Structure 1
């Protein structure tokens, strides 16, 4: 199980973070000294136009990419100071990923896709099965665990991906356009599911989206524009 976050400090602390990419001889700045705090148990939506840096910020929080300057701590850990091996281990234990296109293995069943992150742990087969069945029950797919991705709808595939993200009991869940490949009805169901998981399990969720209606399912919204972060906008009446 993941450690209980210290309530005296933000779960995620970003301070004066800079990030740039090189393209040939050019240096292209993406994030320009941004700072933000995300509390434990918060559901935050990051919005912005294409190229604004929102996915870059998400990748930095998830430890997929590294900062060029500043400080980024998750539950007190300065992740920029971890070695590649330490960072890989940290991601596996503390971060759950939800992607726009699900990233499921087509040759594995829903059960096997969800079980995959546990295969590198010391859990017994029986313990893994208990965890997987619980995760699939949480997303409403207990009756689809033996189905392959090709036998599931897009919304069901995303539910499998959410169960996989939950399976290691991560500290934070990062969701990159989780409804971008879904029709409106399926998207709404997925957003309600994320809301329920945030409310019922206290999981911290950071979601990137370009869809204002999707963002309004979060507790708060922040906008990125040309590498600069706006003030936090509280969502007063997020849909239930």
Structure 2
């Protein structure tokens, strides 16, 4: 039986990955900051699917905690076959209005953790000749709107480069680029999304099913939802000055 490790596993897209990977029969390593929520999810998925579920409490802004997660990913005795780098959050204010320490913490979760865990998993999986890395990025990676957008742009391009590096090794890499999704994400960031039309929202279970299907097919960039496929297609060909103008209001916090 294979093992999947999911960061940010207690809520939103990460929780849905845990649920669907458990349904596929994977043992799980669940990583997040909230031990109580981790234990609750572990008990639920373990009893429902008859799998082994390991809980690993870690704040990925803490380098020592990130090292512990990396060591688990690197284990040769109990290998991780699927890595889902999902942990992430956003800040409400614009870059220059935030304290730089807060910006550094988001940067560590969105980029440094992805780099460290992908490096560890990539080496271990390459050695075994099999494995899958799924890095949760965003449609925001194709626009220009603050540090969240910039960090997700890094995740998308990094994943493309790593996928190329691992071609022919038996290890797949997929960057998942969802748009607005019904989860706790925007509520936690205290963002007012009431003006966003319903047709722009994605359903987390469908999103994750599509992402896993794309990963199974070896797709490097997965964009769920026809509306976002169209948007990303347009963003790839529009002149960047126009993209920047259109991006000024994107992810703008409410007053």
Q: What interval of TM-score do these two structures reach, taking the shorter chain for normalisation? A: 0.3 to 0.5
TM-score, with structure 1 as normaliser = 0.34
More helix by share: 2
More strand by share: 1
User: Which structure exhibits the higher relative contact order, with contacts defined as CA atoms closer than 8 Å and separated by 6 or more residues?
Assistant: 1
